[in-house]
Amino acid sequence: MNLNQMPMAEFDHSGVTISYFDQPPKAEVTAQTTPILLIHGFASSAHVNWVYPSWVKTLTEAGYRVIALDNRGHGGSEKLYDPEAYFAAKMAEDSRGLLDHLSIDEAHVMGYSMGARLTAFLALAHPARVRTAVFGGLGMGMIRGVGASQPIVDALLADDPDQITDDVGKRFRLFADATKSDRKALAACMVSTRQLVSETEIAKLQPPSLVAVGTKDDISGSGEQLSGLIPGSKYLEIPGRDHQLAVGDKVFKAGVLEFLAQN
């Protein structure tokens, strides 16, 4: 199968249609007993975040069954325009619903950026379902925030992208256009999804955790500081990578494989 054209399935979760794929490990490798669920970042999709940067290839070749969903409002999943549909805890339940749909009791879970935030909400609400948690591309921004949302909302809804003056807003608009996203749905998502996790809550995380952030990432906040708040967690520095480029980095992949093998 061409992983760049991976077929997607759908399931209904609380009235919302969620698109996903479920890829078995390579036949020639020894299969791992625990699958891994991947949760992508804002304005991305399962393909953009995990297939194109070769994560699915890397993980299936290491023996993992790989499952990934398009978050609501993204990719092939249903587009909603009410900001209340995008609270982080509600979006995290879509991932839990997918595990239920596939009759999976426990999975490794890896999220990137917004997906890392959703991974935290999932692990806090359903610790028995999360074997390990990988928080990629999000550090102390999970606790303190990652900047104002309104400039990004304005950039997503702007009629003329050339008139956008906010640098971060412009970057998200360019990414949304590149991924051919529904910008109105993304704007609704941006209004609500950046709910914070308190230091008290993050300290309650039970699964073994890995925090991985690029050294040039100016969005996520300190990954090392976040790791210091999570009992027993490990920190992985992704050298020379910004928020966009860290996701496919070989150091990130090697670090995740090592972490999974240890747990």
What is the rounded CA–CA span in Å between residue 218 and residue 6?
Answer: 32
Under a CB-based contact definition with an 8 Å cutoff, are residues 185 and 192 in contact?
no
Minimum mean pLDDT range among 1-10, 156-165, 188-197, 248-257: 1-10
Cα 4 to chain centroid distance, Å, stands at 19
Structural domain includes residue 157: no
pLDDT at position 4 is: 65
* Predicted confidence band of residue 1 (pLDDT cuts 50, 70, 90): very low
* Predicted confidence band of residue 154 (pLDDT cuts 50, 70, 90): very high
- 21 pLDDT above the threshold of 60: yes
Structural domain includes residue 179: no
Q: What is the mean pLDDT of the chain?
A: 95
What is the rounded CA–CA span in Å between residue 59 and residue 248?
Answer: 13
Sign (positive/negative) of CA torsion 81, 83, 85, 90? Answer: positive
Percentage of the chain exceeding pLDDT 70: 98
Structural domain includes residue 184: no
- 46 pLDDT above the threshold of 80: yes
Sign (positive/negative) of CA torsion 165, 244, 235, 45? Answer: positive
Structural domain includes residue 247: yes
Percentage of the chain exceeding pLDDT 90: 92
Structural domain includes residue 180: no
- 145 pLDDT above the threshold of 70: yes
Overall average pLDDT of the 99-122 stretch: 98
pLDDT in tens, 53-101: 999 999 999 999 999 999 999 999 999 999 999 999 999 999 999 999 9
Residue range of the domain that includes 238: 3-145+196-262
Overall average pLDDT of the 181-205 stretch: 95
Overall average pLDDT of the 240-255 stretch: 96
- pTM recorded for the entire structure: 0.96
How many structural domains is the chain composed of? 1
Structural domain includes residue 186: no
Structural domain includes residue 188: no
Q: CATH number for the domain including 43?
A: 3.40.50.1820
Say which DSSP state 208 is in: -
Structural domain includes residue 189: no
- 2 pLDDT above the threshold of 70: no
pLDDT at position 3 is: 55
